Amino acid sequence: MSVITRFAPSPTGYLHIGGARTALFNWLYARHHGGSFQLRIEDTDRLRSTKEAIDAIFDGLHWLELDPDGEPVYQTSRVDRHVAVADELLANGLAYHCYCSAEELAEMRALAKREGKPVRYDGRWRDRDRSDAPEGVKPTVRFKAPLDGATLLHDLVQGDVKVENAQLDDMVLLRADGTPTYMLSVVVDDHDMEITHVIRGDDHLTNAFRQTQLYRAMSWPLPQFGHLPLIHGPDGSKLSKRHGAIGVAAYREMGFLPEALRNYLLRLGWSHGDDEIISTARAIEWFDLDAVGRSSARIDMQKLGNLNGHYLRETESVRLVGLIAPKIEAVLDQKLRPEHEKLLLRAMPGLKERAKDLNELAESAVFYVRSRPIPLNQKAEKLLNAEARARLAEIAESLSELDPWTEEALEAAIQELAEAWGAKLGKLAQPLRAALTGSNVSPGIYEVLAVLGKSEALDRLRDAAP
């Protein structure tokens, strides 16, 4: 039987980083086994589900290049089927109507809590006759869960886990308004979609026991379960909004490459010996659930940044220019001209070596395409003292004869000048950098000179001359 996995987020907010990892693991597992990866939108909470959140999930997955196979399934489109299953359970005596009001249940919980007893539904309508039903109360449908024994789970990540059935109460299958609850919907949908492997967050582990009982009640084959440990914030606490970078879109805005985020997320909880840099092709080849750890992990932005820098350096220049062009245009408040894009393309090798993310890359590239005169930052200003400016004039003069205008030729020419003046190279290089880039930090100065081209470079030097 072929493997079918699914990612089943509820569209009540952005696609967060933990969800992204769940999606990645499901995707990898399916790819590794030559199976299929499905997306199901769990939108049965009509009040909290939003179109924006659904779009955010699609966008996030698409950006991460984890697009699902086939069309996504919307859980709300399947309520009739969910209700039919509940009715079947009811007909077979495996479910029953419960006439408890919300207040009554709240009271039940409060009492249990006060007495220090386990907080759960006491099954008071389980065997009660329907004729006892109070007037005008719409009942919920509850699952008649087994009272004795235990439910065993062979979890692909967590191993064998056992829970006494006495710990599990009779869950609500259909709300008083007749709509199905999550617990019913997941089981029906996972079954109907023929999901073979349910890979999801650890927070669903206890749900797996209740769901197992439902599968049994319906005599459906059980899927395999794999519960992934949760991701925590840098301080070890639960990932929450105060950690800031929790939505996938935020990582995109911070200038991370999807492949870097994927590699980082992959290593968070999964390992393959000492391997750190793992291409997606390799990940597909190597990924399996037995190498997933059982303990939760913390987000480490430093490591993500380092990984991103690595992938940035490996990325073809054309793609990088395409990614940073909008950012540069925003800074300059104007569209880039084709010749500027060509220039940036030539500049990329030196720039990408130095950037940790796309925002840094864009920032460091701006000077190349600014129009003269190039604004100087404070340090550059300081470097361009009277002596330096005088020298720049001479350099410009001397360089105007240079042909060809190549990195090698420029290096030779400038070193020659330094020697002739008996000056240290730094004495020339820093003022050159300041005049050419407006900054004290940049790629190699010969490279900058060459990339800029003879006429623009000389013009910038003349701008700085006294």
Closest to RNA by CB, 36 vs 75, is 75
Backbone dihedral region for residue 180 (phi beyond 0: left; psi -120 to 50: alpha; all else: beta): beta
Closest to RNA by CB, 296 vs 329, is 296
Which of these ranges, 27-35, 51-59, 348-356, 398-406, lies near RNA under the rule CB under 7 A? 348-356
Counting contacts by CB under 7 A, is residue 295 touching RNA?
yes
Report the alpha-carbon distance of residue 40 to residue 42 in Å, rounded: 6
138 has catalytic annotation: no
- Return the residue of 159, 338, 404, 422 that touches RNA, per CB under 7 A: 159
Q: Which residues contact 172 (CB under 8 A, 6 or more apart)?
A: 98, 140, 141, 142, 143, 181, 183
Counting contacts by CB under 7 A, is residue 446 touching RNA?
yes
Closest to RNA by CB, 232 vs 282, is 232
Cis peptide preceding 223, ω within 30 of 0 = no
Whether 50 and 25 have beta carbons less than 8 Å apart is answered as no
- Return the residue of 67, 88, 164, 397 that touches RNA, per CB under 7 A: 164
Query: Environment class of residue 128 by beta-carbon count within 10 Å: exposed (0-12), middle (13-18) or buried (19+)?
Result: middle
Q: Closest approach of Cβ 276 to RNA, in Å?
A: 5
Residues 69-128 interacting with RNA (rule: CB under 7 A): 75, 100-102, 105, 109, 116-121
Residues 405-424 interacting with RNA (rule: CB under 7 A): 411
Residues 220-249 interacting with RNA (rule: CB under 7 A): 229-230, 232, 236-238
Closest to RNA by CB, 310 vs 389, is 310
Which of these ranges, 52-60, 158-166, 253-261, 328-336, lies near RNA under the rule CB under 7 A? 158-166
Catalytic residue among 113, 144, 238, 241: 241
Query: What angle is formed at CA 27 by the lines to CA 239 and CA 262, rounded to 5 degrees?
Result: 55
Residues belonging to the chain: 466
Q: Closest approach of Cβ 200 to RNA, in Å?
A: 9
Closest to RNA by CB, 187 vs 328, is 187
Q: Which residues contact 81 (CB under 8 A, 6 or more apart)?
A: 188, 192
Residues 182-221 interacting with RNA (rule: CB under 7 A): 182-183, 185, 202-207
Residues 263-292 interacting with RNA (rule: CB under 7 A): 267-269, 271, 273-274, 276, 291
Residues 3-32 interacting with RNA (rule: CB under 7 A): 9-10
Report the alpha-carbon distance of residue 161 to residue 153 in Å, rounded: 5
Counting contacts by CB under 7 A, is residue 442 touching RNA?
yes
Q: Closest approach of Cβ 1 to RNA, in Å?
A: 26
Counting contacts by CB under 7 A, is residue 440 touching RNA?
yes
Q: Which of 210, 201, 191, 218 is nearest to 153 (CA)?
A: 210
Q: Transcribe 191-236 into DSSP letters.
A: HHTT-SEEEEEGGGHHHHHHHHHHHHHTTPPPPEEEEEPPEE-TTS
Number of residues that bind RNA (CB under 7 A): 87
Residue 40: what are its φ and ψ, rounded to 5°?
A: -130, 125
Q: State CA 418 to chain mean position distance.
A: 51
Counting contacts by CB under 7 A, is residue 134 touching RNA?
no
Which of these ranges, 26-34, 181-189, 279-287, 315-323, lies near RNA under the rule CB under 7 A? 181-189
At which residue do the structure tokens 């719409």 appear? 138
Report the alpha-carbon distance of residue 408 to residue 447 in Å, rounded: 9
- Return the residue of 5, 44, 213, 308 that touches RNA, per CB under 7 A: 44
Cis peptide preceding 234, ω within 30 of 0 = no
Q: Closest approach of Cβ 274 to RNA, in Å?
A: 4
Q: Which positions are catalytic?
A: 241
